[in-house]
Amino acid sequence: MGADHFVVTFTGHAPGSPAYRRLIVGLFFAGIATFAQLYSPQAVLPQLSSDLGISPATAALAVSAATLGLAVAVIPWSMVADRIGRVPAMGIGILTATALGLLAPLSSGLEMLLALRLLEGVALGAVPAVALAYLSEEVSARDAATAAGSYIAGTTVGGLLGRVLSGLVGEPWGWRAGIWTVAGVCAVAAMLFLWLTPKARGFVPGRFRDDARPGMLARLAMPLRSAPQLALYMQGFLLMGAFVAVYNYLGFHLIDAPFALPGWLVTLLFLAYLAGTVSSPTAGALASRFGRYPVLLCSIAVMGLGALALLSEVLIVVILGLLIFTGGFFGAHAVASGWAPIAAAPETRAQASSLYYFGYYAGSSLFGWALGTVFGAADWAWFVAAIAAMCAVSAALAARVLRLSPTGRV
């Protein structure tokens, strides 16, 4: 009784308070520990392809294997977090993933590398499955969009760090050294996450509760019967699939004619991720002020505009297009990922968030590989056309289903 009463009366950490700052900074390091190692192979895919004598699409499986493992694991991790608590679940996942990340570069061949990357992705699923549900329970609903934007900004720093560091180290010393270096940085970030992140006050783990709650299958089924929730999951599926495909294959495009860029310079293009570091909290703040729906739709439009600019044969236009594309994607992702748990019933928030990330990483795994076949079999224009079409379908779904959602206007 006392625990339930405490959960009801806790109204969330106030912005600017020490606990709020520790929460945001702790999840920032969780984002680094998760997303740096998740995407560290992406910057060294050309070297991986050359070293192992495999095609670009096959090399991209080093990314897709991890995102597939993550997609499969997010729902089970939401169950674990409901049982043992949000922060303990994230801690177990991050530490396990970091250990596997340190082993992956020691692989003797492609099969072993893909197996370790798959398991690493399974472990990494703990953070995206739980982090936004944890945020929605620890801050007020009014501050949730802004807090979610700040968290997504941290994930962009992690993704950027993993790609740039592995690329710069991998250029002179090989892809194995690049990936291993990132795993070492992630170990430090994991320790900082465990030290900084405050214990959950807005949620009581299932092992300490005696109240009657729906079973796990019922909690999974409830969001799946909601049209707005399904539309949000499709945002993640389509937009993340398009985003990962661009970053997987743009490097191959730019080292070829007419650009013929050196590998180290292609690696620096991952600095475009900084556009997402800015756009994520900005989109969250705008969503708090003007509503989630209009900000989501505008972000998708920006993403599509950036994709079309990638058709140019002028390098500066391609770079600007990549910046616009990246900023639009992370703005859309910040809004959609934070929207899913807020729009769900309180007892299904972890499941709603994990289902969003299931769609998100399923799209990453599927399109991160499948659009490589388009890239290999057709030309770059067809590849970009596929990316633009995915953005258009995503926007059409949002306009059809999410426009009238009450949580889209707050």
CB 70 within 8 A of CB 363: no
Give per-residue pLDDT as tens, 181-239.
999 999 999 999 999 988 877 666 655 455 556 666 777 788 888 899 999 999 999 99
Give per-residue pLDDT as tens, 297-310.
999 999 999 999 99
CB 337 within 8 A of CB 152: yes
Distance CA(156)–CA(106), nearest Å, equals 27
DSSP letters spanning 308-353:
HHTT-SSHHHHHHHHHHHHHHHHHHHHHHHHHHHHHS-GGGHHHHH
CB 252 within 8 A of CB 54: no
Distance CA(154)–CA(67), nearest Å, equals 18
pLDDT, mean of each 10-residue run, the chain (410 residues): 47 77 88 91 89 87 91 88 88 94 89 95 91 81 74 82 91 92 94 89 60 67 88 96 93 90 84 87 88 95 97 96 96 91 78 87 88 88 96 96 71
CB 254 within 8 A of CB 134: no
Distance CA(40)–CA(50), nearest Å, equals 17
Q: Which of 186, 124, 134, 129 is nearest to 22 (CA)?
A: 134
CB 25 within 8 A of CB 153: no
CB 154 within 8 A of CB 102: no
CB 148 within 8 A of CB 168: no
For 109, other C-beta atoms within 10 Å of its C-beta total 8
What is the pTM for the complete model shown? 0.76
Q: What is the dihedral of CA 11, 206, 91, 167, to 10 degrees?
A: -80
